[in-house]
Amino acid sequence: MSTHIAAATGEIAPIVLFPGDPLRAKWIAETFLSDAVLYTETRGMLGFTGTWNGHRVSVQGSGMGQPSMAIYANELFNEYDVQKIVRVGSCGGLTEKVGMRDIIIANGACTDSGINRVRFNGLDYAPVADFALLRAAVEASEEMPLSSSVHVGLLFSSDQFYSTRPELNEAFVKHGALGVEMETSGLYTLAAYYGRQALSICTVSDHLVTGEETTAKEREQTFGDMIEIALRAATAAG
Ligand code: HPA
């Protein structure tokens, strides 16, 4: 049992899928895993372990934003010896290069967060994806019949969903950012610190250029594609 996760040692698999929404974690466990067992509901942040294609896999809610996500990622890596975390989340589209419901596999993340500025004493760290997971996710997506496009590129991990400085997105977009979310920069940094593997895959659920939004029902199908990519990548990557 860790401070925020009620699982006993060994109850969490070496592979963890990591959605922000705890109810999405429940949906993933019920839809994709066999024999899923709930191992924590502390603070309503649900976590389950089951099997997928013969591999033990856990699904743990992270909450929204880097401070919440980092609590769970630290405890998963440090106290449960988790080896691979694949974030499966949603993001806002920042450019017309990506369409609604497209899937972004993040090779790296920009951020406006102060967390890494404190961690690196004001210097700029470059949080990047684990290459084996990234390659496995791209290969998985190429083998699957998908209803939307897959992009590999940068995410902007913002600390504010309701941005007070939306004009600042522009510089990141000019330097390759495709979508905005709130967790990837911190996840990649923590995976590097613990010497483990992490990847972030996000589905475009709203679009900051076109103003479009998806309904919950619409999101389900593309979320399904993203989960399948994540499961295949996490269980295939060395
Ligand atoms: N901003 C930040 N995080 C998000 C967004 C957004 O527009 N959409 C989904 N996650």
191: in domain: yes
pLDDT score for 220: 66
pLDDT of 219 higher than 90: no
What is the C-alpha separation between 214 and 204, in angstroms, rounded? 9
Which residue among 88, 110, 180 has the greatest number of ligand 1 atoms within 8 angstroms of its CB, and so is best to mutate? 180
Range of the domain at 143: 15-236
In the chain, what percentage of residues exceed pLDDT 90?
Answer: 92
- Residue with CA at minimum distance from ligand 1 atom 6: 92
The DSSP secondary-structure symbol of 58 reads E
> Which residue in the list 35, 81, 124, 206 is annotated as catalytic?
206
| 11-41: pLDDT as tens digits | 999 999 999 999 999 999 999 999 999 999 9
10: in domain: no
What is the C-alpha separation between 83 and 66, in angstroms, rounded? 20
CB 73 within 8 A of CB 193: no
In the chain, what percentage of residues exceed pLDDT 70?
Answer: 98
4: in domain: no
41: in domain: yes
What is the C-alpha separation between 99 and 205, in angstroms, rounded? 9
7: in domain: no
78: in domain: yes
Which atom of ligand 1 approaches the CA of 160 most closely? 2
211: in domain: yes
Q: Is 206 an active-site residue?
A: yes
Quote the pTM value: 0.97
5: in domain: no
Structural domain tally of the chain? 1
Name every protein residue with a CB atom under 6 angstroms from any ligand 1 atom. Answer: 90-92, 158, 161, 180-182, 205-206
Sequence-ordered alpha helix ranges (H) in the chain: 22-32, 66-79, 115-119, 131-143, 169-174, 184-194, 216-236
Q: Do you know the residue count of the chain?
A: 238
Q: For the domain that residue 217 is a member of, what is the CATH number? A: 3.40.50.1580
